[in-house]
């Protein structure tokens, strides 16, 4: 059996001085200027990205659509629109309207009023080359084609206008929304 010596005496002044000598004071290193600059640039970059995400306006908010117009295609100020693109306006429930494209008011048909009684299931339906109003979706859709008032969109800027009104009130209480898009 071995005995261990246990020092039960309180530490002396000499013991305390030895402890301080062994734990040398740490010297503070000066930060490297390049590291500080890189961290500042990184911090500013992260701040700008977060700010951009928080204040960025996109989609329907950017379009600044009026009440009762839920969406339009092509979006306002679009700059890469193909020449055979549809023009679509999605209205709030209970509204209808007409499309005016480059100053030409396109006739509108209500697809619910078409006589489709002799159509077989799966058979293609030939729709007139006008704006189609689909009351189930409250959408106005115009597709340029050879039989329509507009056969295609030429390159350049085009103006679209929707004249819309509450179905029960009639066109005499119509409102309008106009936007432009550029065809390439």
Judge whether residue 100 has pLDDT over 70. Answer: yes
pTM summary value:
0.66
pLDDT tens-digit readout, 129-154: 899 999 999 999 999 989 899 999 99
**Cβ-based neighbours of 183, under 8 Å, separated by 6 or more:** 81, 82, 83, 85, 153, 154, 155, 156, 157, 158
Q: What is the CATH number of domain 60-183?
A: 2.60.40.1220
160 confidence band (pLDDT: 50, 70, 90): very high
Mean pLDDT in residue range 152-174: 94
Query: How is the chain split into domains, by residue range?
Result: 13-55, 60-183
Check if the beta carbon of residue 133 is closer than 8 Å to that of residue 139: yes
């Amino acid at each position: 059996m071995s005995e261990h010596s246990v020092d039960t005496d309180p530490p002396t002044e000499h013991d305390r001085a030895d402890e301080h000598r062994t734990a040398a004071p740490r010297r503070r290193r000066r930060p490297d200027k390049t590291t500080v600059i890189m961290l500042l640039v990184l911090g500013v970059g992260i701040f700008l990205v977060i700010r951009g995400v928080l204040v960025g306006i996109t989609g329907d908010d950017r379009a600044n659509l009026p009440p009762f117009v839920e969406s339009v295609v092509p979006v306002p100020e679009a700059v890469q629109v193909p020449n055979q693109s549809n023009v679509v306006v999605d209205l709030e429930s209970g509204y209808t309207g007409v499309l005016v494209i480059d100053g030409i008011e396109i006739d509108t048909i209500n697809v619910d009023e078409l006589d489709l009684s002799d159509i077989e299931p799966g058979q293609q339906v030939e729709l007139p080359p006008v704006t189609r109003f689909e009351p189930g979706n409250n959408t106005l859709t115009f597709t340029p084609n050879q039989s329509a008032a507009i056969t295609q969109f030429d390159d350049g800027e085009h103006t679209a206008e929707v004249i819309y009104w509450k179905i029960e009130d009639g066109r005499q209480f119509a409102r309008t929304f106009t936007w432009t898009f550029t065809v390439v």
